Structure 1
Amino acid sequence: MPRETPMDQPLISPAQRAVADAFERMFELSRAQPAPDLAARLDRLSRLRALVQDNESRFEAAISADFGHRSQVETAIAETLFVLVEIKHATKHLKKWMAPRRVATALQFMPAKNRLIPQPLGVVGIISPWNYPLQLTLAPAIGALAAGNRVMIKPSELVPRFSALLQELIAAKFDAGEITVTGIEDEIAKSFASLPFDHLIFTGSTRIGRLVAEAAGRNLTPLTLELGGKSPVIIDRSADLDEAAARVAYAKLLNAGQTCIAPDYVLLPEGKVQEFADKLDGRMRGMYGTNPDNSDYTSIVSDRHYARLEALAADAAAKGAKIVQLAKPDDPAWKAKRKFPPTLVVGATPDMTIMQEEIFGPLLPIVGCKDAGEALSWINRHDRPLALYWFGKDAAARDEVLARTVSGGVTINDCLFHFTQVNQPMGGIGASGTGAYHGEWGFNNLSKLKPVFYRSPFNRLADLYPPYGTKIARLQKMLRFMS
């Protein structure tokens, strides 16, 4: 049966038709040309590294303009350096990753052999988010290019300056058949996931992730979904509250809380709630002060998102929470710059909207629990989180939490840093995502690890052929003995 191409589907705009044409060209190239060798893949990674290094200041300026203000240091550390480390790691290990892998052969098939041979999937689509546009676009692209794939990227419409810059630079460094960046028009966003990619990577909200999965499912397109959710912090009785407050404050306010693995709420013993809130408030003031002109503090990406955060805080206050803020969000000096003041929601309860949806901003609910069991029950009643953070010195309590919770990743006595481990996979579970990437995990995820069995001329597999007679009885006896 002939393959149905995107051009067979009714398209409603020239932009959609252009994207479908670009996909079709890539698809045909991926089938017509052999898998790129090591030298070709290393060359692509080298060009990507040069693109990032040579345009670091341009990326920083574009991202800051899209946000209203983005801390230059945060862009350098959380985006540029992260991407460069990923490229260096892939370049160093790519020859080993590409090599056929020895696999044990069962005794009854000896002296045959098994191998796993990594092969490119073909065309990989990437739908990237706005919150870390450089990192969350190029990190999965690194894995895709290392695996020998061709890549199509759909950036977020919320960062148009970054998207236009990336499109310009990619077009200058790469052939359109290697990697291409589409536009950000609404109709492209709606149709991109419907293209029959060999693999599709989406990073964004759980709500949009469901729509992407539905569209991709019509083509049986394999998915990597990097979603979000509510990532908890557990403060054990044995924790150093000063240390925990400093580390939670940093992780929560990085990128003004617009981080998919940011701490979303804190669970700790009831008797320590106010003490910890006071320490957090002090740390936040020490880090960012009370001046909205502080260049270290990042703006909220849009007026709509700012208003959503205001509504979360107002709803919590109306339902009895104590709101602790460095300033008022409706203060013209803060609102004009879309800088939402760091906010603690002390005594949050399940009926508050802030405890029911991902916050994605600098608001942090604090919830008191009678004991560790109540904290675990709270977490396990809800969707499995993308990240979980635990603070304390009691190893038994730590191991109990690790054994009784399931999450995308965990950092102990800090936050965020499991994500930065290039030898560890990054991925969610359930509503927080599926699949993983980073380093070799990304290479494997975006390769077909093809099993190959090499038959030996000395093996007696022919004894399985009819007519069976007495020889099959002897063979059955031998196989039962080996099983």
Structure 2
Amino acid sequence: MIISSSSMEAVEESLGEARKTFSSGKTRSVEWRKKQLRALIELIHDNEENIFKALHDDLGKHPTEAYRDEVGVVLRSLDTALSSIEKWVAPKKSSVPLLFFPAKGEVLPEPLGAILIFSSWNFPFSLALDPLIGAISAGNTVILKPSDQAPACSSLLANTIPLYLDCNAIKVIEGGPETSERLLQLKWDKIFFTGSPRVGQLVMFAAAKHLTPVVLELGGKCPTILDSLSNPRDFKVAVKRIVGGKWGPCSGQACIGIDYLLVEEKSASTLIELLKKIIGRFYGENPRESKSMARIVNKHHFARLHNLIKDPRVAASIVHGGTLDEDSLFVEPTILLDPPLDAEIMTEEIFGPFLPIITLKNIEESIEFVNSRPKPLAIYAFTKDETLKRRIISETSSGSVTFNDVMIQFLCDTLPFGGVDQSGFGRYHGKYSFDTFSHEKAVMQGSFFPEIEPRYPPWTLFKIKFIRLAYRLDYFRLVLLLLGLKR
């Protein structure tokens, strides 16, 4: 069902139908879940070229980038879910203390109900379909609200999903902020939001009215720590990965992209020259003509980026790039050396193709620098120093830490993905997605024998002694004690 410019009545009707479908019990069937997942695979295979075109229309993404960051991510997630879902839904036996013998315990994952997913514009397919896969795998009904800032992708999702998936259980609602506000007025069983911290606050505020649990996948200023690697080859590989992690995914418009770089003063000039060289190799002498670099999503975000470097103090720190073209929404890969730390470019998430380099006397100072700022979604560190690695892990806090590479943690289904503090909370990917959209229900099977009388009033000195011991001793010793005390 597609709803554009949604009225409150239409939104409520859509949610009501999703709840009715959930109440029917059909989504609890493993076969139903598998059927929807297979249908998603079919949707992607049938519409791959349309997906590439929509991503190019909205963001200027090359098909290779689109497959790497969107299509491939979703297909891999679908394969993981299809091959694992039977194991995920199976009840898990739980160890029960002998005190409760012969009772048995298990943990049963059950679906939550009606889920609301807000996806983001920078990866409009993977950030819509990846959480959807988790919600379906867990047996929920879903209302998906794509970002209106990627209109071609939103339209494609709205027009294709009802053709492939169960339209009584999985719906797409298009619209702008007004539609989102209407959706948030309703009671959901869980809300999954990907976007900015500012909007995340609004989502959480609205959810609190109904005590709705939320997952917030936000962002933050993700630092990269570059140690002075003694091997020139390692240093070159590190810089290549930094260039790929800064400008490769959606022209820097990525929540887990590199925001700024920390390096020792002695390495700065070598680093900058190598960055320039690799940028030229990746995007040519005139990046404006490159087909391998995505564009800024719209004029609003272009103006925001322009404002970041309008400050004369910031402009003076530019050592490479700095060209902007509003007509084509192009921003050149730009390197800044030691911009003022109180400037907006160093206090707000950049979300674009500017790379500030901050120099330090020694790389160990990077830990204090990172800790002086809000907790990031990711920390990247290129180093062979095991002591520095241990310090980064133990002395900093972030959604994830990746050593000697960038952004690969997002593609690893066996690791949870999510933020901490201002960078968000909740986690997903692989089994973690299933868990996020499930309730782990504790089930305990008791027995009518034996009947331990000291658990009941009237209270006596004997009973309090017995209860004290019950918390300290195992079951069989307790029974023996009880028999002895009774004699």
Measure how far apart 1:211 and its partner are: 0.9
Number of equivalenced pairs: 465
The answer on 1:296 being equivalent to 2:296 is: no
Measure how far apart 1:53 and its partner are: 1.5
Return the alpha-carbon distance in structure 1 between the equivalents of residues 165 and 8 of structure 2.
Answer: 22
The match for 2:421 is 430
SS in 1 for 2:157: helix
Q: Render the CA deviation track for 1:7-45: whole Å, top value 9, x for unaligned.
A: xxxxxx853321121012212332343652111111111
The match for 1:308 is 304
Q: Is the 8 A contact 1:285 1:326 kept in 2?
A: no
Measure how far apart 1:70 and its partner are: 1.5
The match for 1:465 is 456
Give the direction of change, closer, same or farther, for the CA distance of 1:478–1:34 in structure 2 (3 Å limit).
Answer: farther
The answer on 1:47 being equivalent to 2:39 is: yes
Measure how far apart 1:377 and its partner are: 1.3
Measure how far apart 1:249 and its partner are: 0.2
The match for 1:7 is none
Note the 1:3-402 alignment, pairs <5 A: 15-33=7-25, 36-67=28-59, 69-238=60-229, 240-254=234-248, 255-291=250-286, 292-315=288-311, 317-319=312-314, 321-326=316-321, 328-330=323-325, 335-402=326-393
Give the direction of change, closer, same or farther, for the CA distance of 1:196–1:461 in structure 2 (3 Å limit).
Answer: farther
Give the stretch that moved more between structures: 409-418 or 25-34: 25-34
Q: Render the CA deviation track for 1:322-342: whole Å, top value 9, x for unaligned.
A: 213346224xxxx43222110
Return the alpha-carbon distance in structure 2 between the equivalents of residues 461 and 369 of structure 1.
Answer: 68
Return the alpha-carbon distance in structure 1 between the equivalents of residues 45 and 399 of structure 2.
Answer: 31
Q: Is the 8 A contact 2:111 2:138 kept in 1?
A: yes
Q: Is the 8 A contact 1:408 1:429 kept in 2?
A: yes
SS in 2 for 1:372: coil
The match for 2:482 is none
Return the alpha-carbon distance in structure 2 between the equivalents of residues 193 and 473 of structure 1.
Answer: 51
Return the alpha-carbon distance in structure 2 between the equivalents of residues 138 and 284 of structure 1.
Answer: 32
Return the alpha-carbon distance in structure 2 between the equivalents of residues 236 and 379 of structure 1.
Answer: 15
Q: Render the CA deviation track for 1:239-281: whole Å, top value 9, x for unaligned.
A: 6432221110001012100111000001111221222112111
Gaps of 5+ in 2: 475-487
SS in 1 for 2:331: coil
The match for 1:451 is 442
SS in 2 for 1:297: coil
Return the alpha-carbon distance in structure 2 between the equivalents of residues 209 and 366 of structure 1.
Answer: 29
RMSD: 1.8
Q: Is the 8 A contact 1:160 1:184 kept in 2?
A: no
Return the alpha-carbon distance in structure 2 between the equivalents of residues 477 and 225 of structure 1.
Answer: 44
Q: Render the CA deviation track for 1:330-364: whole Å, top value 9, x for unaligned.
A: 4xxxx432221100011122111100111111110
Give the direction of change, closer, same or farther, for the CA distance of 1:156–1:394 in structure 2 (3 Å limit).
Answer: same
Return the alpha-carbon distance in structure 1 between the equivalents of residues 187 and 316 of structure 2.
Answer: 48
SS in 1 for 2:7: helix
SS in 2 for 1:262: coil
Return the alpha-carbon distance in structure 2 between the equivalents of residues 469 and 347 of structure 1.
Answer: 74
Measure how far apart 1:238 and its partner are: 3.6
Q: Is the 8 A contact 2:193 2:216 kept in 1?
A: yes
Return the alpha-carbon distance in structure 1 between the equivalents of residues 314 and 6 of structure 2.
Answer: 49
TM-score (norm 2): 0.92
Gaps of 5+ in 1: 1-12
Return the alpha-carbon distance in structure 1 between the equivalents of residues 352 and 362 of structure 2.
Answer: 28
Q: Is the 8 A contact 1:290 1:326 kept in 2?
A: no
Give the direction of change, closer, same or farther, for the CA distance of 1:252–1:79 in structure 2 (3 Å limit).
Answer: same
SS in 2 for 1:482: coil
SS in 1 for 2:289: coil
Give the stretch that moved more between structures: 427-436 or 19-28: 19-28
The match for 1:10 is none
SS in 1 for 2:472: helix
The match for 1:5 is none
SS in 2 for 1:287: helix
Counterpart code for 1:412: F
Return the alpha-carbon distance in structure 1 between the equivalents of residues 163 and 289 of structure 2.
Answer: 36
SS in 2 for 1:348: coil
* Percent identity for Structure 1 against Structure 2: 34
Give the direction of change, closer, same or farther, for the CA distance of 1:481–1:205 in structure 2 (3 Å limit).
Answer: closer
Return the alpha-carbon distance in structure 1 between the equivalents of residues 359 and 295 of structure 2.
Answer: 30
TM-score (norm 1): 0.92
Give the direction of change, closer, same or farther, for the CA distance of 1:461–1:284 in structure 2 (3 Å limit).
Answer: farther
